[in-house]
Amino acid sequence: MIFSNQTTHLSKLLSYILRHKPGEYGIVLDENGYTNVDELINKLNAQNENINFEILQHIVHTNNKKRFAFNDDLTKIRASQGHSVDVQLDCSLYTAIILVA
């Protein structure tokens, strides 16, 4: 079972890592802002965070602001917006945001 306070904490931590300070946790983002899901989970658990793939999926799918996205085969994850690190988000994501707004 995933508790709301756990989800909130992990969501904020993921935003911090994937949007601003990936290197602080030893995470490397590719040019599109993606990082390997297994590596992210392993590095977070090494920092005593309690996260697994199911929890990560829950956070991605239930975030009302759609802050995170998986790639098609669910092996990579990225923040969808608000980066302070240099990444190139694809145009289809911008189109989806504009169409929803």
- Considering the chain, what is the average pLDDT of its residues? 83
Residue 32's pLDDT is 87
Instruction: Give the start-to-end residue ranges of the domains of the chain.
Output: 4-100
pLDDT tier, 84 (very low <50, low <70, confident <90, very high otherwise): low
Cα 26 to Cα 7: distance, rounded to the nearest angstrom: 22
3-state secondary structure the chain: CCCHHHHHHHHHHHHHHHHHCHHHHCCCCCCCCCEEHHHHHHHHHHCCCCCCHHHHHHHHHHCCCCCEEECCCCCEEEECCCCCCCCCCCHHHHHHHHHHC
More confident call, 84 vs 101:
84
Cα–Cα nearest to 51, from 14, 25, 24, 23: 14
CATH 1.10.10.970 for domain 4-100? yes
Per residue in 26-61, pLDDT (tens digit) is 999 988 889 999 999 999 999 999 999 999 999 999
